[in-house]
Amino acid sequence: MYDEKNLNHEMVQFMDQYGSLLHDNIDLNDSQLLEIYNWMLKTRLFDEKMVRMQRQGRIGTYAPFSGQEASQVGSTYAMEKDDWIFSSYREIAATMVHGLPMQQSILYAKGHMYGGQSPDKLNIFPIQIIIAGQTLHAAGCALASKLKGENDVSVSYFGDGATSEGDFHEALNIASVFKVPSVFFCQNNHWAISVPLHQQTASQTIAQKAIAYGVKGVRVDGNDVLAVYHVMKEALESARNGEGPTLIEAVTYRQGPHTTADDPTKYRNNDEVNEWAKKDPIDRFRTFLNKRGLMDEDKQEKMKGIVNEEIEKAVAEAESTDRVTVDKAFDYVYDKPHKLLLEQQEESRQFLTIKEGR
């Protein structure tokens, strides 16, 4: 019988809060470290830009991810190009690192029909809105990969709130039973909209939920990008070696609201927010790079300038993209349309013709 109070899932850390290394065994060179920092900075500035654009009425409701860059960038940086990502609406940084053009994310936020389409040969499943639904998709894709003898791993990203959904438990169960090549990556940002973690689950950690399904569970400091990278690397190798799935709990914090339609001051206090601000993942990693002589104020400003230009260019391209007609929506339901769908498309055309007096 398990004793809930004695379950041991120590938090994996490579850097402390002040950017000092706790381990010497990092296997990333200087160029890779700077590339990771560039991604973290780029996605932070992108996130801030999107929030401003939403306030200006230029995009729809938006789910900010500032504070979670280390979890997303560190984990995706460890993946291979052929690995699959199954994400929710808050994993924009992860999808960008895996190859999704910035412009595509902006189109999605604008509600453009093409915003939800992944470019060809990019293994990113469309964004999932239903909480935890993507965990089942990842388990299914991983099973298919195993049956086909492929070498890719399916990674599902979700928040702590998703672990209170049935889909999460069903996905872990089926993935474990069939030992499929998958990683379940939970960003525990402590709040499921306005519900705190302790009101969602009585478990001491999310990582320990892995025990019930016979899979490996790991708890990592989600604001420590080096720790996240190494934990993810091990989980991916384990999956590729036929050892089955891993559940990773990245302990992090959502600095902003759940979405731009939300006011977090109604349900959480400033002390908590300020405490987590001291653990900002980008500040911590920049301090680490400073100590290694890889970053200084001039380099930082130069990098910010380049990134801001890239963001503005992507925004301009997205905002100049032509709107599509309702008629086009029927072209993306199935690979090949069936008779009923074609009939509906024709009815739609006739309706719009009458409505527009053509």
User: What positions carry a catalytic annotation?
Assistant: 254, 258, 267
Question: At a CB cut-off of 8 Å and minimum separation 6, what does 198 contact?
Answer: none
Tokens, residue 357: 């007096």
> Do 206 and 175 touch, CB atoms closer than 8 A?
no
The CA-atom distances, in angstroms, between 200 and each of 71, 123, 284 are: 21, 32, 29
What residues contact 239, with CB distance under 8 A and at least 6 apart?
A: 142, 153, 180, 181, 182, 183, 245, 246
Half-sphere exposure of 272 (CA within 13 A, CB side): 14
Return d(Cα 148, Cα 275) in angstroms, integer: 48
The two tokens of residue 308 are 């801001």
Given a contact cutoff of 8 angstroms between Cβ atoms, the answer to whether 63 and 259 are in contact is: yes
DSSP-assigned states of every residue in 35-95: HHHHHHHHHHHHHHHHHHHHHTTSS------TT-HHHHHHHHHTS-TTSEEE-BTT-HHHH
* CB neighbourhood size of 136 (10 A): 20
- Token reading at 335: 């690979």
Q: Which residue has the tokens 């074609």?
A: 342
Structure tokens at 93: 């940084």
Beta-carbon contacts of residue 153 (< 8 Å; ≥ 6 apart)? 79, 80, 83, 84, 142, 145, 181, 182, 183, 236, 239, 240
